[in-house]
Structure 1
Amino acid sequence: MHRAGAAQPSFRVPAETTRAARSFFLSRWRAAVGFSEKGYAVVAVSAPGALPPLHPLHAILLAFPFPLFLGALLSDVAYGRSFELQWANFSSWLIAGGLLVGAFAVIWALVDLLRGGRAHRGRLALYFAVLLAMWVLGFINALVHAKDAWATMPEGLYLSVVTTVLAVAAAWMGYSRSRPGKAT
């Protein structure tokens, strides 16, 4: 806000410059949209295969299940070799962490699926299905690991392998969405 007596700053551009700039941009625009002196040409281009990139918060949520389920797998392997009960406890806690963060990623994927366009519904449904399968098998794995440590082998190890593979697949599918300027 300026006082009444203060000099106002001048942001005026000479008229010749604005006419030249306007002419330049109009010629570029006409060439881009297919305008000619004879008439107009209207073209609509759609790219149904391109998915929008992941929201940054969704990407963060998607980053956690894989290392947590991988840690559970490695601690199951360590328990299978040493029969030290603490490895089974580590595995149970890592699975619980993967389920907690994975649940938020599944919910976010469901919202993306429901809000996504018809062109993207198939890929989003597959991504959601893989995430949901990861979470359900991780939950079954948590129930198996809730038993006595001696009773968790070998099915706990097998479930950890499958859950980890599904976590890798879900992360791969989520992070391989198209980026601006690239088609999928």
Structure 2
Amino acid sequence: MEELRNEINSAAVHIDSSLRRFALERRYRHSHWIFVETGLRKFHPHDSPGKEMPLVVNLLYVTLLAFPIAGFSLTVLTDIAYWRTLNLLWLHFSEWLLLAGLVFGILAVLVRGIDHLTRSMWPPWPSVVGAIVVLLLAAINSFIHTADGWTAVIPYGLTASVLTVLAMIVTAWFARMGVRHA
């Protein structure tokens, strides 16, 4: 009798673990949740690979994109701080923020460009043109900030910084309009 009870318990444990494994496989096989820029989206794993951006590429792009947004936005604040205090420290902060924003912005564009060349998804053309305009304005702003003292910030440096931030806002609005498939 003891032997039968052990056999039944062993079979029950095996069935229980098999059912759990089957339930987990079924749950993960039929639908997955992945993180994309707008949050969680559900997709079916048998969909074509071009429908959703791969997780690693998306995370890398979003991480790289955060630096230019912060750098170019903070440049406006450091330019205003220099204008109000005339302390050269703020001018040097602006120069370094612009450099960091340009380096990470170019890296983000390269990551997104390589991703779009390998898949059939293309961003709307206004957002591509906007990204180029933002990087060009930031590069011009960086050259303006290389001058010495007051002329590096007032009036052209501050104006270029504000125009760069406004171009970023417009480009973000264009990018939110969606992605079209080629």
Give the alignment's TM-score, normalised by structure 2. 0.60
Contact residue 75 and residue 88 of structure 1 kept, 8 A: yes
Instruction: Choose which of 84, 99, 103 in structure 2 pairs with 1:100.
Output: 103
Contact residue 65 and residue 101 of structure 1 kept, 8 A: yes
Offset at 1:131?
1.5
The answer as to 2:169 corresponding to 1:168 is yes
Give the alignment's TM-score, normalised by structure 1. 0.60
The whole-number CA distance in structure 2 between the counterparts of 1:82 and 1:69 is 20
The whole-number CA distance in structure 1 between the counterparts of 2:112 and 2:142 is 22
The whole-number CA distance in structure 2 between the counterparts of 1:51 and 1:160 is 36
Provide Cα deviations, 1:114-134, integer angstroms capped at 9, x if missing partner.
Answer: 3453xx5461x3322222211
Equivalent runs, 1:140-155 vs 2, <5 Å: 140-152=140-152, 153-155=154-156
Equivalent runs, 1:34-183 vs 2, <5 Å: 52-53=52-53, 55-117=58-120, 120-121=121-122, 123=124, 125-152=125-152, 153-174=154-175
Amino acid at match of 1:110: G
Amino acid at match of 1:74: L
Provide Cα deviations, 1:122-174, integer angstroms capped at 9, x if missing partner.
Answer: 61x33222222111111111111011122121111111011112233444555
SS at match of 1:148: coil
RMSD: 3.1
Identity level (%): 30
Structure with greater helix share of residues? 2
Tell me, which stretches of 5 or more residues in structure 1 are unaligned?
A: 1-8, 13-49, 179-184
SS at match of 2:147: coil
The whole-number CA distance in structure 2 between the counterparts of 1:171 and 1:116 is 22
- Residue correspondences, number: 133
